[in-house]
Amino acid sequence: MATITVDKSLTNDLVRDLSASGSATVPVIAPFTGKKLYELPTSSARDVADAAAAARVAQLAWFAAGPDHRRKVLLDGHDRFLADRERLLDLLQTETGKTRGPAFEEFFQGASATRYAALAAKRVIRTRGRRAGIPLVMRTRVSYKPKGLVGIITPWNYPLSLSLMDVIPALATGNGVVQKVDNQTVLSVLAARRAFIDAGVPASLWAVVAGDGNEIGNAVVDAGDYVCFTGSTATGIKVGQRALGRVAGASLELGGKNPMIVLDDANVAKAASASVYGCFSSMGQLCVSMERIYVQRAIADQFTEAFVANVKNLVQGSALDYTTDVGSLTSAAQLERVKTHVDDAVKKGATVLAGGKARSDLGPYFYEPTVLTNVTSDMLCFTHETFGPVVAIQVVANEDEAIAAANASEFGLNASVFSGSVSRARRVADQIVAGSVNINEGYRSSFGSIDAPMGGMKHSGLGRRNGPEGLLRFVESRTVAEATGLLTLPGSGVAAGKLAGTMELALKALKALRRR
Ligand code: NAD
């Protein structure tokens, strides 16, 4: 078993940046070893309120400094973030139990999201003229103002990328941020934040709090003019309701039960290789990873054999380098959830084609990547998100059956289609009810496309991150329209009656000119 830990002076240095004034602490456990990593100071609701007040003051100057200043500082932060790569990857692995490859994927994603938001914000939120109700008589412009203070709540599974994908667009559009980080992954987020503070983001503009999910989460929701939540559907619904109670908007990035369709013209070897990463990256503890595979009968045996062989070849371990393919689950609760799903499926008649066992010889929360078949609707893993290294293969007769099975879920976050024909795959993709669909890939094509929106349909979420959509959620639009004086608008019933015929003619003319 590895003896992975974090240097005490680094821990002390980083946790000083938390907004936590009291003496309360909670232990943080290292997933690779099950041993205590350090004692995390926790915030109180008062700390959240104080941090929010300070961030509101800092936000005024940050917004007033203008978009060019914000871009310069955030791009400098990007460079400092890149320069800290190895330390960030070590922290990420140590706090989450993931392997180096997915840790780097997070790092890459975080940097890309930063670059995009820093460079695109000015253009996306610039003031623009819009078509006036009556041309020449009115002149109309729309400008965008930051919401003010954004409350951001992030989970433990992808702490680096999911933080930066929300925080940096919020800052780039001129907002302040109070972020509630999951207790498990505070160090990774604080280390990433440090790069931006050193680059010139005022420390009080981006406050980080930690502590009890309910108490501190509620305080963050109550503090923000807008709320970004990433986590489970059950918590997301509560967060959305609470925010709406204050007429504050919210983007909710929630759970999934993501389907992969393997069509009969797919290149079996390529599909069986790419889909393994799509299912087991970060031990399946990723909102967009695959938990259901629907394979067409003609290639089902061939695909299943190749897929299972690849899964059995995965190297599992806790090395802080690139020598392993799959690591550990992040917590005892995660291990319990995975065991419960697999044991329930096996008890009710599922067949285990690979995995199915904990690996306590490697570490306390290790579990083998697991492939099931003969999964039926009475099993927990059929409809519920496992959020672990468990995938079920089902054989389907044709494309229509595959699409119907893929859509038969309360979730609609991500999906994947493997086919030898891009046009066929696109046709199938168009019929999937999900916020993203990847062709000949599990999730990385859409997850990495930071100019395109990411989010969920159905119970998988509300709103979108990334792309222009991900920036526009952080601003309020304001319409300013002028009367040009070319025509005096009617002020009385008699005057309106005199103009009615002319105005109707104007309506017909505007339609004839195809003017919106
Ligand atoms: P979770 O809902 O338990 O916790 C997420 C965050 O919310 C944590 O910081 C937690 O402390 C906080 N929280 C808990 N109770 C709260 C409350 N009452 N009010 C406000 N905040 C509260 O989720 P989790 O188990 O940490 O994360 C796993 C889930 O997140 C999975 O369902 C996964 O699919 C989902 N997820 C979704 C995305 C996405 O982009 N759609 C990304 C990552 C994870």
Low-confidence winner among 1-10, 18-27, 119-128, 394-403 (lowest mean pLDDT): 1-10
Domains of the chain: 8-254+467-475 (3.40.605.10), 258-459 (3.40.309.10), 491-516 (no CATH)
Q: Is 230 in the pocket of ligand 1 (CB under 6 A)?
A: yes
Active-site position among 228, 279, 287, 381: 287
Largest CA distance in the chain: 89
Give me the percent of the chain exceeding a pLDDT of 90.
Answer: 98
The 3-state DSSP class for residue 427 equals helix
Among residues 178, 255, 188, the alpha carbon closest in space to that of 218 is found at 178
Give the whole-angstrom CA distance, residue 390 versus residue 289.
10
Give the whole-angstrom CA distance, residue 435 versus residue 458.
9
Strands 461-462 and 249-253 come out as antiparallel
**H or E segment to which residue 250 belongs:** strand 249-253
Centre of ligand 1 from the C-alpha of residue 230, in Å: 5
Give the 3-state secondary structure of 81-150: HHHCHHHHHHHHHHHHCCCHHHHHHHHHHHHHHHHHHHHHHHHHCCCEEECCCCECCEEEEEEEEECCEE
Q: Is 374 in the pocket of ligand 1 (CB under 6 A)?
A: no
Nearest CA to ligand 1 atom 37: 254
Give the whole-angstrom CA distance, residue 340 versus residue 84.
39
Q: Is 462 in the pocket of ligand 1 (CB under 6 A)?
A: no
Among residues 221, 105, 199, 203, the alpha carbon closest in space to that of 157 is found at 105
Judged on CB neighbours under 10 Å (0-12, 13-18, 19+), 261 is buried
Residue 2 has pLDDT above 70, yes or no: no
The 3-state DSSP class for residue 485 equals coil
Q: Is 463 in the pocket of ligand 1 (CB under 6 A)?
A: no
Residue 1 has pLDDT above 90, yes or no: no
Give the whole-angstrom CA distance, residue 158 versus residue 94.
13
Q: Is 72 in the pocket of ligand 1 (CB under 6 A)?
A: no
**Residues 151, 181: contact at Cβ < 8 Å?**
no
Grade residue 5 by pLDDT with cuts at 50, 70 and 90.
Answer: confident
Give the whole-angstrom CA distance, residue 182 versus residue 506.
58
Annotated active-site residue 253? The verdict is: yes
Residue 74 has pLDDT above 60, yes or no: yes
Residue type, 203: A
pLDDT value of position 3:
57
Token pair 């070897």 in the structure block, residue: 269
Beta sheet of 206-209, edge-to-edge order: 206-209, 176-180, 149-153, 226-230, 249-253, 461-462
**Residues 510, 502: contact at Cβ < 8 Å?**
no
Token pair 């904990």 in the structure block, residue: 358
Locate 127 and state its tokens. 């003031």
The 3-state DSSP class for residue 397 equals coil
Annotated active-site residue 287? The verdict is: yes
* pLDDT tens per residue, range 448-471: 999 999 999 999 999 999 999 999
Nearest CA to ligand 1 atom 40: 253
* pLDDT tens per residue, range 315-368: 999 999 999 999 999 999 999 999 999 999 999 999 999 999 999 999 999 999
Alpha-carbon separation of residue 419 from 135, 271, 412, 428, 439 (angstroms):
51, 8, 21, 10, 8
Centre of ligand 1 from the C-alpha of residue 157, in Å: 9
pLDDT value of position 357:
98
pLDDT value of position 246:
96
pLDDT value of position 6:
87
Centre of ligand 1 from the C-alpha of residue 235, in Å: 7
Centre of ligand 1 from the C-alpha of residue 437, in Å: 22
**Residues 367, 283: contact at Cβ < 8 Å?**
yes
